[in-house]
């Protein structure tokens, strides 16, 4: 667990101290690593089915920036607190990934961090249907992943993305790309 944190901290970019210039709307997410059932896992949200955009999809905690958010970390940590109740002081940021453009025209920054004491999470039912813990040992084998277009991606001109199936859930799209980049860092490819 500490080894993974040190490895990611060494291989990922330092979190940005300011937003990158862009004409797109800004957003940030936190890719949280937690200890779950005795092993390291990535924590995902299953978005509430009542949401206007991306309903029922798997995502990391996060969302659109507001005026209070001076940088991506502030945005990601605020949204993480709103969605799953994690206090900022319970997150150790390990690094960041390259920012990507979402299908809804946001420039999304992804920070990777360790949540300490994830046992007291409180989900906001208006935004989150449930939590999904996926052990890193299950995510790491590249053979478990496919690269394909998601629903509606071809019509929208979106590229293929990494897809990971776990039970009835599929991690794909921007979340799949961010997850794949974390795994590449862990594999020493990035």
pLDDT digit string, tens, across residues 15-49: 877 888 888 999 999 999 999 999 999 999 998 87
Closest CA to 93 of 17, 151, 145, 36: 17
CATH architecture of the domain formed by 2-187: Alpha-Beta Complex (3.90)
How far from chain centre, in Å, is Cα 141? 19
Question: Domain spans of the chain?
Answer: 2-187
Q: Which residues of the chain have pLDDT under 50?
A: 190
Please tell me the predicted confidence (pLDDT) of residue 8: 95
Q: What is the pTM of this model?
A: 0.92
Please tell me the predicted confidence (pLDDT) of residue 160: 85
């Amino acid at each position: 667990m500490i080894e993974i944190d040190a490895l990611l901290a060494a291989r990922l970019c330092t979190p940005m101290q300011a937003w990158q210039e862009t004409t797109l709307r800004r957003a940030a997410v936190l890719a949280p690593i937690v200890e779950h059932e005795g092993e390291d896992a990535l924590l995902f949200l299953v978005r509430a089915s009542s949401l206007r955009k991306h309903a029922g999809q798997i995502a990391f905690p996060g969302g659109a920036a507001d005026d209070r958010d001076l940088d991506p970390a502030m945005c990601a940590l605020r949204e993480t607190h709103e969605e799953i109740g994690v206090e900022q002081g319970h997150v150790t940021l390990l690094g960041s990934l390259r920012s990507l453009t979402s299908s809804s025209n946001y420039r999304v920054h992804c920070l990777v961090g360790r949540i300490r004491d994830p046992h007291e999470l409180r989900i906001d039912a208006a935004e989150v249907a449930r939590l999904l813990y996926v052990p890193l040992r299950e995510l790491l084998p590249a053979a478990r992943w496919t690269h394909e277009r998601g629903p509606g991606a071809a019509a929208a001109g979106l590229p293929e993305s990494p897809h990971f199936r776990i039970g009835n859930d599929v991690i794909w799209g921007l979340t799949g790309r961010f997850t794949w980049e974390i795994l590449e860092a862990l594999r020493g490819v990035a």
